[in-house]
Structure 1
């Protein structure tokens, strides 16, 4: 290749300036994933520097995760995207991998849910009303189930008539429904600059553009949202006000009121994703309470009760109810009445609240382990949820850290899975503490990660060395 980097004056040592130019070339599309870089001697001749300087520049680029070196073949722009599914895709592996400690999947622990389920199944078998659970029901769900959910939601300040409660097939399905109801192909939805990867995937499939809103220590920045409303004219805002994924930030009520005022001023809708809100012992009033006529509220039993319960609940403004139900019919026809019966049974009989209390305790215990081991690296993480956001110290880069962690038997999720603008992703990873089976397993994984944080990345560490290619 004929690449000759533009070296900017005053950028520090020449090898760092060359590496910086390489990073700019990747970001600007001049250098493509998998592209081979010039041999050391050729680039040294073009730039009028020593071969040793180019070697140091390529080594620095490998440390940053920009390139990989292959013995006998040369140095290549890192093509992590070809292997991204193996590293950051949020899936459960088909076969158990006992040698890998999974700190990547954001699952809730199971706890007593299995015993409660056994008891509930016995109760349902004696109820004499199983026929209704085995036939088609309205797309919004059985009215008796929606009435229970409506009453249960009052506990967090949401007053919703059962007619405006729609049962969906989990939070992901609820988000798909909401986005389809509020925006069309070619339109945009605003969201935090770091957001739930499932939202990115849905928007991509629907041809909807996600517009990134800057965040600060309180979450979504109202001034940035206002500016975006002026320039991009989004149809809606998707956000997670409580224990945001991945940052764990919870907005103050004052911040939410500022955002609500902007929503009303510009006539936007809000998709309020509250799947982690149950873990917060104290929380602000939901948007669905502040501006119910502009809010689609979403929660899910799979986070608050047990991961396998794929039942979610939408609270929608009356104006949107019919269109949302039509989308449910199109995408899913209806959510399984039998599973909805289990979830609403737990809501009515106090089991849901019991499980939520258990999850809060578990999250605290697991976060205490994380804070004890990670120390100042975890100082900004909330102790109320199963995940935490880990900013990587220099000179670690997220890809090299993730790959090295996996080589050490620990799976994490890199920041670019969450970044709306992937080229602006910080060098950080999300750690999840719910999928691991025990506190000792969590401690083992975190101690391995702490060992990496206290060490230096190894140059020329590539995917081949950990068995990916």
Structure 2
């Protein structure tokens, strides 16, 4: 009788390799929901490891939510088990009394609906623009739309030429297009945006976890990591890392570019979380234009439902990206790009961005004041705070207790790349609360949960 025997990656402790292999097998449907995992002794013999290694591997997979141990029966794949999910969907901003601080949504803007109405009226009043918006267009988008994006990005301190841009359908679509065109093995910080983890999994691309610290990506360790496990693409958020809020200083940026040139690595620079010019460093695409794809989107500025953005793509990569656009959606939706163009041209986008920065700063100060004793990491213009939990507190339990208090946040585990254990930390998106009053109420409840004594050992058995 044959049993399922995984292929271990060789990266990290064997028990974690086993847990990761279980997760990959579930994602690829190699292990279906309800499947019983092999008996520990038989799998230990097949892999040439100790029974203790299998026990720890199964335990790690259970901790990650993929399997469940049944006393006297064995370990089984949970129904519907997959890598810990990260939902991008929220029905409303405070649904049924639940304050959802799990999503990086732009703060509500009372002027947004009027701005949308003006943008739609502008298109309707221009028969030529309306005709273009309803017709087939080139894969990279209309010249007029790319020119509007280029002018606005340049005004925002991100100088680009229209000929460098490809219109896409927002940041997630930009990641998908970039990784589809580039292929190969992808590296990202060990805690990184769940979107890149999801896209890499969808495309069957292996992810390499990179070390980072309070100042962002540990650039001095890149060469050694590349020697150990070579990668072709490096995904990075240098201005406002998700979830830690870290920002790369200028020295690290230049060292990163030197490394990428030396090892012939592509850079995907995610700039979707837009910050004011004073809060940003030199864009990587300005330091290494020949090997950097830059992602810009209006989802975090104007509205999440406007699935539109722009990719700054090096000339040598442009046709490969355009081919992916053709194969996936034929073209970016010109009607949406036209709405965004009107929004920008009218000046409404600039006014909305200014209001957003003011609102975010007010909310950031609320978080800093309310949770000062827990030293939250925030950044001016950012949407979220990163909180390392007090000693003895576990993120899973804190998330559960906050859910009981009708508050949603994300644990560090949702952002994990590779098999490293997640730190005991949470991310809370203060931008997502309906208003400041809702945020103030949520912060009181969050502080109460964090300040409560950690459960004693006998309580957690």
Contact map agreement 2:179 2:200 (CA 8 A) in 1: yes
In the TM superposition, what whole-angstrom CA distance separates every residue of 1:409-450 from its partner, at most 9, and x where no partner exists? Answer: 000111111010354211111100122111111111111111
User: Of 303, 325, 333, which residue of structure 2 is paired with 1:336?
Assistant: 333
* Cα distance, 1:86–1:424 mapped onto 2, change above 3 Å: closer
Alpha-carbon offset, residue 461 of structure 1: 12
Q: How does 1:296-307 map to 2 (within 5 A)?
A: 296-307=293-304
SS in structure 2 at match of 1:308: coil
Question: Equivalents in 2 of 1:175, 1:239: separation in Å?
Answer: 11
Alpha-carbon offset, residue 323 of structure 1: 0.8
Aligned to 1:27: 60
Greater CA deviation, 82-91 or 134-143? Answer: 82-91
Greater Rg by CA: 1
Q: How does 1:50-449 map to 2 (within 5 A)?
A: 88-93=86-91, 97-111=95-109, 112-129=111-128, 130-183=130-183, 187-279=184-276, 281-449=278-446
Greater CA deviation, 247-256 or 315-324? Answer: 247-256
CA RMSD of aligned residues (A): 3.0
Aligned to 1:69: none
* Cα distance, 1:406–1:257 mapped onto 2, change above 3 Å: same
Alpha-carbon offset, residue 265 of structure 1: 0.8
Contact map agreement 2:70 2:76 (CA 8 A) in 1: no
Question: Equivalents in 1 of 2:153, 2:65: separation in Å?
Answer: 50
Question: Equivalents in 1 of 2:315, 2:56: separation in Å?
Answer: 50
Alpha-carbon offset, residue 82 of structure 1: 6.0
Contact map agreement 1:378 1:388 (CA 8 A) in 2: no
Contact map agreement 2:253 2:284 (CA 8 A) in 1: yes
Contact map agreement 2:191 2:415 (CA 8 A) in 1: yes
Alpha-carbon offset, residue 37 of structure 1: 7.9
Alpha-carbon offset, residue 375 of structure 1: 0.9
Question: Equivalents in 2 of 1:239, 1:455: separation in Å?
Answer: 36
Alpha-carbon offset, residue 161 of structure 1: 3.0
TM-score, with structure 1 as normaliser: 0.79
In the TM superposition, what whole-angstrom CA distance separates every residue of 1:377-427 from its partner, at most 9, and x where no partner exists? Answer: 244322331111111112211111111110110001111110103542111
* Cα distance, 1:28–1:407 mapped onto 2, change above 3 Å: closer
Question: Equivalents in 1 of 2:277, 2:185: separation in Å?
Answer: 30
Aligned to 1:66: none
* Cα distance, 1:461–1:156 mapped onto 2, change above 3 Å: farther
Tell me the matched-pair count: 403
Q: Which runs of 5+ in 2 are unaligned?
A: 1-53
Question: Equivalents in 2 of 1:379, 1:226: separation in Å?
Answer: 31
Question: Equivalents in 2 of 1:102, 1:280: separation in Å?
Answer: 29
SS in structure 1 at match of 2:304: coil
Question: Equivalents in 2 of 1:240, 1:305: separation in Å?
Answer: 20
Question: Equivalents in 2 of 1:172, 1:375: separation in Å?
Answer: 33
Question: Equivalents in 2 of 1:390, 1:154: separation in Å?
Answer: 34
Q: Which runs of 5+ in 1 are unaligned?
A: 1-20, 40-75, 463-469
Question: Equivalents in 1 of 2:341, 2:220: separation in Å?
Answer: 40
Contact map agreement 2:123 2:342 (CA 8 A) in 1: no
- Structure 2 residue 455 is the aligned partner of structure 1 residue 455: no
Contact map agreement 1:169 1:312 (CA 8 A) in 2: yes
Alpha-carbon offset, residue 97 of structure 1: 2.5
Greater CA deviation, 24-33 or 433-442? Answer: 24-33
SS in structure 2 at match of 1:281: helix
Alpha-carbon offset, residue 213 of structure 1: 0.9
Contact map agreement 1:90 1:105 (CA 8 A) in 2: yes
Contact map agreement 2:275 2:382 (CA 8 A) in 1: no
